[in-house]
Each structure stands twice: as structure tokens, then as C-alpha cells.
Structure 1
């Protein structure tokens, strides 16, 4: 009998230890970070990219995901070859914790540490070749869930619980029904001293005319003229520029293929910024347009985006993801009339998209890439050309209803002008567009 009781007690003790190791332990900030050493005082990150202690991983931003039971999702960049255990440290603002005697503004109170769950975003387009495939650093979700601290306001991810920690503010604390914007454009990256000022200004003014209220752009580097344009639109209130110094932490690839372009991470972290933008504007914008700076998602059967989406949502009420076909307008082919070859724009660096009205035909037997117009509250993860995880249905918008005007180098450079289609959709906005472009170029100081 005594042996049985002893064995039972040993079993209960072992089980208790296993449960403690498996789940979590609650500790105060004083225990976690000694106030005797200034270097270990709580640090709140003001950067958009923050190293994760004890690893080569990086954390970007943190959000409460109410669709996942209030889990804290930290958008991160994970070095896939070192998948060591990671831990979340969740803390509440001291003002929200009556039991914590805060001696400094912004102090963090009761904290909880627990094992994090790491979800690497899968690679690939899903139609024969990969986006981000093979790169050692990959966009990931680091998930934290603690029933003991639902009021968490800050989080840090670490591989070493005793390291000096930097905390991220947890955004999206509340579900909001009233949204500030109807349509927001997420532009993933500017890099390589990008200085295509004329096309940038033309695109911004076109988006205003079709109903976009906000544009978000992640900036690694740009040229002096684009910098002036960015300042102009930021002051105007239409543009949010998110600093994206990815090149300070990794060697970014300048392309999508690891075999061709090499580097640590796909295309300056494009996949990370697109996912970050979805969560950043989840409760700010009704819809998000996910595309590049040289692309315009343009309605063809409706006067603007609001009317387009009113029709599409009525016809497809269960869809939250709308895939828009990409169509190439070669910047090597010009309108013969010279109608928009305006002398005052010649000194502005960049492409004049109004001059490029010839569209390449679809390539037979090849997939036509798409970009996305989404309800952000329907999407958990995205890639460049399609969503990876979403709620609800995905709808492919017919080419004649809405398509992307993509002015760039040709994909079918062997075609002559008479083998291309004439598409003058942008000219329909001439009366309002030209004066607004001139105003932007003048007031920004580019002209």
C-alpha cells in the first residue's frame, strides 16, 4: 500500500512538472528583468524590424487576432534552418494592473511567458513555380495565447527568457465595426533608390479618382524626386510610409526566384510587408488592394471601386477575396499622337503611363497572374498572387469587369504594335487627372 501511494505521488509530481514545462508560468516583470541593471529595463520597440534574442529571426509587428480566440499574432521573419523553441512574453501596461506599483510612465506590469507556436507561410504560387521558395528566411506567424493574461498590451518573442527583451505594442485590441476608409492600397516595397516620380504621382492621382482614400507603402530606399512626392502625399494625408530597413538585417533578393536572384529573403521581404499591411489596416479599411507601385487595379464596367464592389459583393456575398487579372502595357510602345507628351513633364524622371495605351494579348497555355482585392477580415495569410489562408470564398473577377493596368517592360517583346490591343481606359480621366498631376508635381517641388 505504501509503495502504491509513493508511486502515485511520484506520478502526480512528474505529471505536474511536465504540465508546467509544457504550458506556461507566470512571472512578474521584476523577476523577468532585474531593475538593478539599466540594460535590462523594459524597452519598447520603435522600429518596424526587431531582432529576436538568441536567434537569427526577426519580429515585425504584433496584433490581436479575434478570429483565433484572441491569440496574439506576431508577424515575423524566421530563419527556417534554425527552428529552436521560441517563447512569448506577454505583459500588461502597468496602468491596467492595479497590483503593480509602476514608478515610470509606460512601465509594464504582470507578465506571462509561454511557448510560442511558429507557423511558417508556405511557399509557392500553386501553379507550377514558387514565390519565396528556397530562401532561407521566410514570412511567419508566431502565435501566443495565454488565458491568464487576456489584457496583454505588449509582447516580446525570444529564444532566451533571460535576455534583454524588446517589446512590441499589441495592435487591433478591439474589433471595430466603423472603419475609416473604404479602399486602401498596400504597396509592398520601394527599394533600389526608386525614383519613378512621374508614374508614382500619376498613379496616386488616378487612385483618388476611382475611390481610394489611403495608400500604404513600405520604403527601403527611394530617389530624391520620389522622396519629395512621398512627403507631399504624407502631408496631404493620403499616404502612410512605413520604414522598411530590411537591408540592415538581411541580404534581400531583388527578385522572386532563389535560383536566379539568391539572397536571404524574397524580393526585399515583399511577402512580409503584404501580410503586415493586412493586419495593420484590418480595422481601418473595408477593402485592401494588394499590388505593386507600377500596377493599377482598374474597374472597366463601373465608374469607381465602390460601385464595382457593390455589384461583386451583391453577386458573391460569401466571397472575401477577389482576384484581378494582370495585363501588361509595354512601356516600349508609345501612343503615336503624342497627346500626353507634355513638355512640362519632360524634366520629371519616370514613366508617363498615359502614353502607353497598347496592351499585350494573353499568352496561350500560360497562367495569367493576378493581384488581390480583399476584405482584410477574411484573410489570415497571403502570398503575392493569391491568399494562403482565408475565410469564405475566392472569386476570379472577369477581365472585362476589372483588370490591372501594368505599365512595365514587355513580356512579349517580339510582338509588333499592330499585334497589341489598344486600351485607352486611362484617357477617360483626362479632364480631372491632368490638373491634379500638375498640382502634385508643383506643390511637391518636383516641377
Structure 2
């Protein structure tokens, strides 16, 4: 979830128009489809041609009210003809107990229709083939590609009420150094300064912003469980957004990483994912999903590292909103197993059919844990109430190995976006 972790920020509610008077911007650019199925509570997101199953089909990523019993019909537009068939529904089991869950609506391809271009989902037949008022989705992933535009794509979902500008810039610069070519941001709303940063990286070609207007359709939760924040769906629809990102970049990117901008998968003996992945492939096998153990780095503790390590001073960043990750280098002790670990993954997207917040739903057997001596994840965020004492934290200076290069790159971005003046840099 892309919510601020530096300090406590006020929760801002959107007005009916989707804007506020507090500097937040909403839905700049083309929004995700988000099509309501008439006569049903089902909400459609996107459609993709699924090449990997024995029976070729179109998969429509959707959100469905789990208790609703509804029969859905597929309508595939192919070679100037309309083909209709019964849809198969698969609601993901990892819905965290919320009324709505992520769903795959599967539309088998009829004989003579190998490459449908559009698909509509309805609760009944289209009478006399009349398409008036029927909303069709473009079917993506028309071809199986083996030459990819990107080596590593990172999916961030979902960004809301976001003002953590400094950590976002640090994250995007660090990801590029690690070897990431593309970052996909599912955005509900953010501060004006955050939008300037997103626009900057979009123009550079690094970031794709996908406006995420789900809160216009459903009541979205800001918490992990219904008892913490009752709503229709978990975390602003984080899980369906991640599944959309997986399919969207399935044939565009060799690997896809699913984590937040306050999470950093850092190799321990090499400096980039470009160097790391051959190590993982050799040890665990190629074409897999790699799991990285989570290490909590609470921002409540900003301790001076012991000599001889010297932390670069970034006094010029003091007026930039957000967390300076280079000041937080003490980890919480790892919980003894079998306690749940909030791990994240890097995966070959073509080996995976469904994902959740933490890992893969199917097929799970494609995932393997990465030895923490090879690589691990650092989660730098506000932790809230804790019984830990400063002396219980574990010093880990791995992030500082990127410090000098990261500081220089961040200063350039802050200058180019107008968030930092030349006077501040001197």
C-alpha cells in the first residue's frame, strides 16, 4: 500500500467531483476501465488473451461481491462477428474477509475466433446481437512476445493521499540503479508535489501512472482487515490492481516485482538486480518466483550509525515532505518461524496466473524463498506502537552503500522538478 510512513498525515476525503481544496490531484490521464456489469455488483477492470492454458481463453480481471450468485455471459468480438458463451468465474481466495474479492472471469474462445479484439460481460444474452449500451473492453496481450521492452518492471499499488515526496524520489532513483526500467503506479490521489515528481518520471519514460478511480464505485478500506476498517474491499483494491499489472506487463517485461515504494529488495553481495537474478536462477532455477524476506526498519528510530560509517548529510532536504531513507538503518529482529513474514516477490510473470499482496496464489509451487545472505527486503516505514527498545534493533548499513550515488541523483531530480533551488544545493 502506498500510504505515507514518515509522520502522521491527515486522512483527506475526496469530494464528489474527485478533487479537494487541499492540493490533492485525482485521475490525471486515462483511467483504468472499471466497467460495471448491469444487473450485477461485478466491476470489470481489464481483459487479456490467455495463451498458457490448454483451452485458450480471454481472462477478464474483475471485482465481485462474493455472496452474489450471478451467471455471466461473455461476448467476444472477432473478425467483425459477435460470439457469445457462458463465463466461468474464479474468485480469488485471498480477499482478507472483505465482501468483494478479486475475480478472474474466463471466456473460452469459440471455434473460428482465435484473436478476439474486444469482450463484453453481461448478465444475459445480447438480444438480436444489439450492442447498444454494451460496454466492451479491449483485449490485450494479443501476441506471445519473447523480446521484452523491459528487464524489470515494478508495480506500485495503490497510491492514495500520498505526500511522501522524498522517499518516492529516493525509491525511484534506487530502483533505476538496481536495474528497473519501468515503474507502474496505480494512483487514486496525491499531493501537488508528488504529481510533479510523477510527471517528471513519466516524461522520462520510467513511470506509467494508471489512474485508479475505484473509490468512485466501492467503499474502499485503508486497513488490512474488515474489523480494522469495514468497507467493500481491501486496501483501495490493491489486489486487483496487482493482478492487472501482472497481466499488463506479462509480455512487456522479463521480470515483474510487486512491492511498495517504501520497500527495497537489496542484494547482499552484488549491487543490482541485473547481477542478482543470474545468481537466483542458478541456485533456485530459472523462470520462477523469488520470495524476499521482509526486514522492518522503523522510522521512529533515526539513530546515528557507529564509526567508521559516516552518513551523508542532506540538510537541504529538510523542507521536502517525506522520509529520508538514508537516516534509517536499524532493523527489527526477525520474528522466529513459523511467524508470517510480510515478504514481497520478483517473478517471471509468464509463470504466474494470480497474485496477492504477499506472493503468488497460483501456482504457489513456482515460488522459492531467497536466502537472506543473498538478498532481502528492507521495509522502511512508521511502525506505530512497539515494545522494542533502541538497543534491541540491529544495525544494517547495506543501504548506505548506495548513499553517495543516491544523494546526488535525488538532488538532480529535486532541482529539475523545482522542489529544490540551486541555493539549497550549495
Is TM more than 0.5 here?
yes
Q: Please give the alpha-carbon distance, in whole angstroms, between the structure 2 residues aligned to 1:346 and 1:260.
A: 33
Deviation digits for residues 336-393 of structure 1, max 9, x if unmatched? Answer: 2683452211111001110001111112352322111100000001111121112863
Selected match of 2:267 from 291, 299, 302:
299
Q: After TM superposition, list the pairs within 5 Å mapping 1:39-438 onto structure 2.
A: 47-68=32-53, 69-92=55-78, 97=79, 109-123=80-94, 132-148=95-111, 149-162=113-126, 164-191=133-160, 193-317=161-285, 320-336=288-304, 339-365=311-337, 366-390=339-363, 393-410=366-383, 413-438=386-411
Q: Please give the alpha-carbon distance, in whole angstroms, between the structure 2 residues aligned to 1:273 and 1:347.
A: 32
With a CA cutoff of 8 Å and minimum separation of 6, indicate the structure with the bigger relative contact order.
Answer: 2
Kindly indicate whether the alpha-carbon contact (under 8 Å) linking 1:134 and 1:258 is maintained by their aligned counterparts in 2.
Answer: yes
Q: Please give the alpha-carbon distance, in whole angstroms, between the structure 2 residues aligned to 1:271 and 1:113.
A: 29
Deviation digits for residues 198-244 of structure 1, max 9, x if unmatched? Answer: 00000100111111111111001111111111011101110001110
Kindly indicate whether the alpha-carbon contact (under 8 Å) linking 1:341 and 1:355 is maintained by their aligned counterparts in 2.
Answer: no
The structure carrying a bigger helix percent of its residues is 1
Q: Please give the alpha-carbon distance, in whole angstroms, between the structure 2 residues aligned to 1:48 and 1:151.
A: 20
TM-score normalised by length of structure 2: 0.85
SS of aligned partner of 1:259: coil
Deviation digits for residues 292-319 of structure 1, max 9, x if unmatched? Answer: 1211111112221011110111222255
Q: Please give the alpha-carbon distance, in whole angstroms, between the structure 2 residues aligned to 1:216 and 1:391.
A: 24
TM-score normalised by length of structure 1: 0.81
Deviation, 1:418, is 2.0
Kindly indicate whether the alpha-carbon contact (under 8 Å) linking 1:360 and 1:412 is maintained by their aligned counterparts in 2.
Answer: no
Query: Residue 364 and residue 412 in structure 1: after superposition, are their counterparts in 2 closer, same or farther (change >3 A)?
Result: farther
Kindly indicate whether the alpha-carbon contact (under 8 Å) linking 2:42 and 2:64 is maintained by their aligned counterparts in 1.
Answer: yes
SS of aligned partner of 1:258: coil
Q: Please give the alpha-carbon distance, in whole angstroms, between the structure 2 residues aligned to 1:210 and 1:397.
A: 17
Q: Please give the alpha-carbon distance, in whole angstroms, between the structure 2 residues aligned to 1:341 and 1:116.
A: 59
Q: Please give the alpha-carbon distance, in whole angstroms, between the structure 2 residues aligned to 1:189 and 1:362.
A: 27
The RMSD of aligned alpha carbons is: 1.8
Aligned residues: 379
Q: Please give the alpha-carbon distance, in whole angstroms, between the structure 2 residues aligned to 1:386 and 1:112.
A: 36
Kindly indicate whether the alpha-carbon contact (under 8 Å) linking 2:311 and 2:400 is maintained by their aligned counterparts in 1.
Answer: no
Deviation, 1:248, is 0.3
Query: Residue 438 and residue 362 in structure 1: after superposition, are their counterparts in 2 closer, same or farther (change >3 A)?
Result: same
Deviation, 1:64, is 0.5
Q: Please give the alpha-carbon distance, in whole angstroms, between the structure 1 residues aligned to 2:386 and 2:365.
A: 39
Kindly indicate whether the alpha-carbon contact (under 8 Å) linking 1:328 and 1:406 is maintained by their aligned counterparts in 2.
Answer: yes
Deviation, 1:47, is 4.0
Deviation digits for residues 308-338 of structure 1, max 9, x if unmatched? Answer: 1101112222551111111111101113268
Q: Which runs of 5+ in 1 are unaligned?
A: 1-44, 98-108, 124-131
Kindly indicate whether the alpha-carbon contact (under 8 Å) linking 1:318 and 1:392 is maintained by their aligned counterparts in 2.
Answer: no
Q: Please give the alpha-carbon distance, in whole angstroms, between the structure 2 residues aligned to 1:412 and 1:195.
A: 22
Kindly indicate whether the alpha-carbon contact (under 8 Å) linking 2:291 and 2:370 is maintained by their aligned counterparts in 1.
Answer: yes
